[in-house]
Structure 1
Amino acid sequence: MHLTPSTPTAKGPADRFTGDVYLNMISAPAEPAYMVAALVRFTPGARTNCHSHARGQVLHITDGVGLVGARDGHVVRVTAGNTVTCPPGEDHWHGAADTTLMAHLALTVGDRTGDGTTWLEPVTDEPYNAALAAHH
């Protein structure tokens, strides 16, 4: 057994997020499991860039209301207690709704080279607002 102290909250980098996003790392990729876990908090309207994960990603919503969308336009509205599984290699994004915070646990499996995330372009206001309108 090993107790890991809490990590400082870090602001999500502007080249990966639109709006204000805050992260607390829980687990970085390391032997033997290479589990990557973080608590991610989104302010209203904040969202990730489009991205994918080599081994997929699980998002467990802990608070608020948000959206998770795939490049093909499929979007789901999420609330506390929901879990979304994004398959390996699927381009997707996630973030808060426009009027409420959203927080989730982001869980992925990395490897010796990192967390397996490929970061892509920002999700602009047009597709984000369309997703909001379709899921209010």
Structure 2
Amino acid sequence: MSVLVNLGGQLESEDTAVALAAVWEVFHLCGGVADAVAFEEGSDELQALVASQKCAAARDLVPLPTTGSAVPVPLPGPGVDGLDPYVRLLAQVEETLVRLAGTADSVGEGAGQVLAEAASLASGAAAALAAVREGS
């Protein structure tokens, strides 16, 4: 879980490059988690697929990190509680992207709109991932 804590701290960074690299990593990580739990007994495969697709679409909107390597995708713990840290991390990504979107147009025209779209996808991915194990 230290990876999740580290990513959470990086999302709060005032350095835009650090925050966006963490955003990319969270989308990669949470998309992988959604893929991993999709076919578990009692999981809602459709919600897992939605979460995975939204993470992939959002990840494609943010720049690829220029340093480091992708974080490994762990298997989450059982039940709804096992997915909760990833859902919270996606919610934190949404907050980070909204914050960055407010200043992004100073970097490039339309950048704020792209980050706002990624924030919306993060919100949808969080909701879908939260619903994957609701019935189990």
Flag the structure with higher helix content.
2
Report the TM-score when normalising by structure 2: 0.25
Flag the structure with higher strand content.
1
